[in-house]
Amino acid sequence: MDKIEDVSSKDSGPKSKDYDENSSRQITLFDIKIDNGLKDDDGNEIPRPFTKSQMRKWLRKVKWENKKADKRAFEKAKAKARRKEAQEENISLGPSRKALKRMKLERPKRSTSLVIDLSFDHLMIEKDRFKVIKQILRCYSVNRRSENPVQFHLTSLGERTKSEMSRHNGYENWDINYHEASYLEVFPKENIVYLTSESDNVIEKIEENTAYIIGGLVDHNKYKGLCLKIAEEQGIRHAQLPLDKYINMKTRKVLTIDHVFEIMLRVCEGMPWQNVLLNVLPMRKGAYICDNRRSSNSSKDNSNSGEDE
């Protein structure tokens, strides 16, 4: 019986450590019950036989699709055991999924919109596109649990991103507004602010009825200044977060997509900028209260888009 080597261990999607350790390292052709083929970046079916590179990509895809149901069942059982253990020890795990759904219907949302611009797919390798999806999941999670959530939008949603998002069951039903169109077609031009570290404008107050755009790009500083260039060419407002005003950092001021999202969300909730920055930024950033006597020459080294993580 032919065996298919497991080539998906590096980047086949979200992982559960226990699940991976208990699952077999190889699958056979007879294990493949789901085969949706392979599509190119424009969503067109790629004819067979595949090239060697396409075959590796297909193997990762079919292994994920065929193990997705088992993995989901494993994670459900694990979550159930965790809830039972917490109940026995009288530990709160926060609101349940049902409670979150009920909160979604009951809580009014702010008129402020946080938008992730997904028009950069062609500039990233597959590994970095997965990182963008992972950060989107974090943004969804923090907004879902917020007492005062914002309007969450994804724009320029292409076939490639849809395919990668489809790894997560029911993503279409998440409390996210999906748009294939650009943010310019979704919001009035005068209500748009692109967040970019290269901007000379600094946000002091988050405005109502305004869409703040976060570049959905993990670029390892390869495309520095791209978001500012786009904003200037489109004639829309742009601004950077007030990092230098409130904190100093021991590392470069490079923020991930989800960090920028959560900072904006918490300020919308009413928290002071300084408290938010100190609470949201990870310890490895070494953020501490800004000493106004020290000059900061790193304002151009900030980033309001993705970072390798």
Q: Look at residues 306, 272, 308, 304 and name the one whose alpha carbon lies nearest to residue 290.
A: 272
β-pair partners for 194? 213, 238
Give the DSSP letter of residue 177.
E
Between CA 161 and CA 45 the distance in angstroms is 16
Judged against a pLDDT cut of 50, whether residue 152 lies above it is answered with yes
CATH of domain 109-306: 3.40.1280.30
Please state the pTM of the whole predicted model: 0.68
Q: CA-CA-CA-CA torsion for 175, 40, 70, 165, nearest 10 degrees?
A: -10
Buried b (16+ CB within 10 A) or exposed e, 203-234: beebeeebbbbbbbbbbeeeeeebbbebbeee
The pLDDT confidence band at residue 288, using thresholds 50, 70 and 90, is low
Helix (H) or strand (E) holding 279: helix 273-280
Residue 42 annotated among the catalytic residues of the structure? no
pLDDT surpassing 70 at residue 309: no
* Tens-digit pLDDT profile for residues 236-257: 999 999 988 887 766 566 789 9
* Intervals of CATH 3.40.1280.30 along the chain: 109-306
Known binding residue 216? Answer is no
Q: Is the pLDDT of residue 10 over 50?
A: no
d(CA 151, CA 133): 18
Q: Which pLDDT value is given to residue 268?
A: 93
Q: Is the pLDDT of residue 185 over 70?
A: yes
- How high is the pLDDT of residue 261? 97
Confidence of residue 171 (pLDDT cuts 50, 70, 90): confident
Tokens at 88, concatenated: 């026995």
| 290 annotated to bind ligand | no
241 labeled part of a ligand binding site: yes
| Candidates 117, 121, 128, 219; catalytic one | 219
Structural contact between residues 28 and 4, judged by C-beta atoms closer than 8 angstroms: yes
Say whether pLDDT at 13 is over 50.
Answer: no
Least confident stretch, 17-31, 118-132, 292-306: 292-306
Q: Is 38 annotated as a binding residue?
A: no
